[in-house]
Structure 1
Amino acid sequence: MRIPPLYRRPEWQRLLAGIAVGGCISWVVFLFMFGTMQDRQSKILEDQRDIIKELENEKLIWQEEFAALNKKNQELLTVQGIEIRITNAARYHINSQALNEKTDELREDLRPLLAKDLSSVYKNKELVKKTIENKTVKINEKRYTFTIKEIFFYTTIQITAEIKLAD
């Protein structure tokens, strides 16, 4: 068996050379197209990474602001302080030091209301009122009671009371 002598025929030589050159050209075209597509895909991926990073940072900022607003709203809905004002102390000639001591005592009686939910404190407003009105204090050897004139419930409870002689 012998291999046919095709190398002597120019038609076959041109066919094989054309196949080889065509294969090389198609390989170069394939590599160019594949490289262009991969470059475009890597650019898209990089853009998407940047967008994701930016959105994650924005999300963190929103979460921090949301947490701060929640904390602020929670503080706004709880009792933060108690203010007591006695209006007619001058009528009974009570000095300011004794008056301050007695308002501090009243504030101490109402201290459990601090940091409580505003709605629960408002529901128990009669209890707050009775706590103050049932308190009898002794100033300058005389006994006094309080009557509530106004109560404002907000983050600071403001109580306006009058003092009178106990019976």
Structure 2
Amino acid sequence: MHIPPYHKKVTWQRFFIGAVFGALISYGIYIYIYGSLYERVLEENFELQSELTDVKNQNEALLQDKEDLDEQSKEPQTVESIEVTITSEDALRLDRLIIHQLEDLIKEEINHLIGQEISTVVESNQLLLSTIENKGFTVDDVTYHFDVNLLVISNNVKLTVETKLTDE
């Protein structure tokens, strides 16, 4: 069997050379497209890795904050201060010195609340109200009784009272 000598014919030589050059050109285009797509994929991968690192750092910070808050919430909340406000000083024409002395007397009466847990104070709020309303506070031979208008129990106990004047 004899293979025909196509390599000697000019048309076949042109076809083979064209096929080789076409293959080289298409291979170059393929490498260019592959390189540009691979570059985009690498860029996107780096962006996603950077975003993932940021999200991990943010997650760790949030988890640490949550742990800190959990530790703080496990500690019992206590009463830190007491604030007393007298509302009817104008009706009884009380001067500032008497108002200040009455506020100090009320604070002394309920001073034992400082340092106690808020839950304990909330449970015994009726006892606190009864203590203030049923006791007479004497300043300059005049006894004052109080009605509690507002009692706010938090870290700072806020007490708003109204003065009633009684003679003994």
Name the TM-score, length of structure 2 as normaliser: 0.55
Paired residues in the alignment total: 107
Shift of the alpha carbon at 1:138?
2.3
> How far, CA to CA, are the matches of 2:138 and 2:106 in structure 1?
13
Structure 1 unaligned regions, length at least 5: 1-57
Query: How far apart in 2 are the matches of 1:96 and 1:73?
Result: 42
Identity across the alignment (%) = 24
- Partner Cα distance (1:127, 1:162) in 2: 18
Shift of 1:96: 0.8
> How far off is 1:68 after superposition?
7.6
Read off the aligned partner of 1:151 and give its amino acid letter. L
Deviation at 1:141, TM superposition (A): 3.2
Query: Helix, strand or coil: the match of 1:132?
Result: helix
Aligned to 2:107: 107
1:90 alignment partner, SS class: coil
Bigger mean CA deviation after superposition, 101-110 or 120-129? 101-110
Instruction: Kindly state the Cα deviation for residue 71 of structure 1 after the two structures are TM-superposed.
Output: 4.2
Name segments (4+ residues, structure 1) moved above 2 Å. Answer: 64-75, 138-142
CA RMSD of aligned residues (A): 2.6
Work out whether 1:141 is the aligned partner of 2:144. no
Question: What residue number does 2:156 align with?
Answer: 156
Where 1:163 maps in the other structure, the secondary structure is: strand
Deviation at 1:94, TM superposition (A): 1.2
- TM-score relative to the length of structure 1: 0.55
Q: Secondary structure at the match of 2:79?
A: coil
Q: Which residue of 2 aligns with 1:131?
A: 131
Residues 36-63 of structure 1: per-residue CA shift (max 9 Å, x gap): xxxxxxxxxxxxxxxxxxxxxx9xxx5x
**Which runs of 5 or more residues in structure 2 are unaligned?**
1-59
- d(CA) in 1 for partners of 2:103, 2:95: 13
